[in-house]
Amino acid sequence: MVAFFSRRKLLAWGLALAACAPVVHAQAPQALDGPLTLVVGYAAGGTTDRIARLVAERLEPKLGVTVTVENKPGEGGRLAAKEVRRTPPGQNVLMLGNPAVMVVAPLVIKDAGYDPDKDFVPVSQVSSYDFALAVGQKLQLDRAMFLVGRLWAHPEEAVFGVPATGSLPHFFGLMVGDALSVQPQIKGYGGSAPLSADLIGGTLPIAIDTLDSLYAQPLAGKVRILAVSGKKRASFAPTIPTFREAGMKIDADGWNTFFAPSTMAPAKVQLVANAIRDAMRDPGLQKAAEAAYITPVVSSTAETAQMLKAYRQQWEPVVRRSGFSP
């Protein structure tokens, strides 16, 4: 009888000790288990490539692994997205995406080859960029309000050149038309270089492109940028007013954001996201980005997800109303 009670007491004590023992949760890894590849869907040397390399340089010491940038141009950035979505579990791969790939393409292409929501996880936004409206010497205008008055008087002159049909400047041009109550004719080019050439040569009176693409031209005194699309003036172009300052109730921007394939473990995603956010705080990186006409952004995963949600709410109606089909 004594032995029976002893065993029962021992069992009770064991259960009590087990209940008091600390619960051990799975912890996030302190370091990656292999090298990290940052995939860019465009050729080396462009804006997206430049910010990717600035980030990669500062990620290596933070993560303790080799970080490489791999350029996979093709299909306007979609080729990279289709390849990254197929990343096997266990591989450390991120894609640096932009709105053209992650917002516009899935809306206008019947089968883009990937689903931004199902195949990818937002990690961290690292940059933003403005759009700009510029005029050539032919118009001899130095303020946006003068252009507005001219287009109201001559709506047939509302021909906006953009680097490509279906590009973000194309859809931003439609936003500008809505803000001005004019219906613009969009003239697509095969890139920013021929667009700028026609603007400088006088063949094209009005152009809409990213600010960084147009900014080198006014520095040479060849064109005038009348307004930029940001909520505030660009730090590297403080003399150029925003559209709102020019009297038009419109603002918009583009961005570069890192995305992980949905196959990557959440703990790894968070580890890399924290490292990217810390890297973007580096004053040297910020200075180098601004020198390249890039606006650096420090953002958490939650802030990035919120930005993407708001961005889609702003742009999806514009893209759908356009009826654009590649």
pLDDT digits (tens, 9 = 90+) for 27-70: 445 678 899 999 999 999 888 999 999 999 999 999 999 999 99
Give the pairing of strands 36-40 and 93-97: parallel
Question: For residues 171 and 27, which has the higher predicted lDDT (pLDDT)?
Answer: 171
- Beta pairing, strands 224-228 & 159-162: unpaired
> In the predicted model, is pLDDT for residue 20 greater than 50?
no
What is the pLDDT at residue 99?
A: 96
pLDDT at 181: 87
Please state the rounded mean pLDDT for residues 89-103. Answer: 95
Query: Domains of the chain, with CATH numbers?
Result: 36-128+253-322 (3.40.190.150), 131-228 (3.40.190.10)
pLDDT for residue 153: 87
Alpha carbon of residue 40 to chain centroid: 12
pLDDT bin (cut points 50, 70, 90) of residue 247 is confident
What pLDDT is attached to residue 251? 92
d(CA 130, CA 126): 14
| CA-based nearest residue to 80, from 102, 95, 67 | 95
Would you say residue 198 has pLDDT above 80? Answer: yes
Residue with more model confidence, 92 or 323? 92
Give the relative orientation of helices 301-322 and 168-180 as an angle to the nearest 10 degrees: 70
Of 191-200, 217-226, 275-284, give the lowest mean pLDDT range.
Answer: 217-226
pLDDT number for residue 100:
93
Label residue 23 by pLDDT band (50, 70, 90): very low
Percent of the chain, pLDDT > 90? 71
pLDDT of residue 176: 93
pLDDT at 18: 45
| Region class of 201: left (phi > 0), else alpha (psi between -120 and 50), else beta | alpha
* Dihedral angle sign, alpha carbons of residues 275, 310, 158, 105: positive
The whole-number pLDDT of residue 30 equals: 62
Q: Is the pLDDT of residue 122 over 90?
A: yes
Span 134-153, pLDDT tens digits: 998 778 787 888 888 888 88
Tens-digit pLDDT profile for residues 287-308: 999 988 899 999 999 999 999 9
More confidently predicted of 55 and 217:
55
Tally of CA atoms within 13 A in the half-sphere of 95 that contains its CB? 30
Q: What is the mean pLDDT of the chain?
A: 89
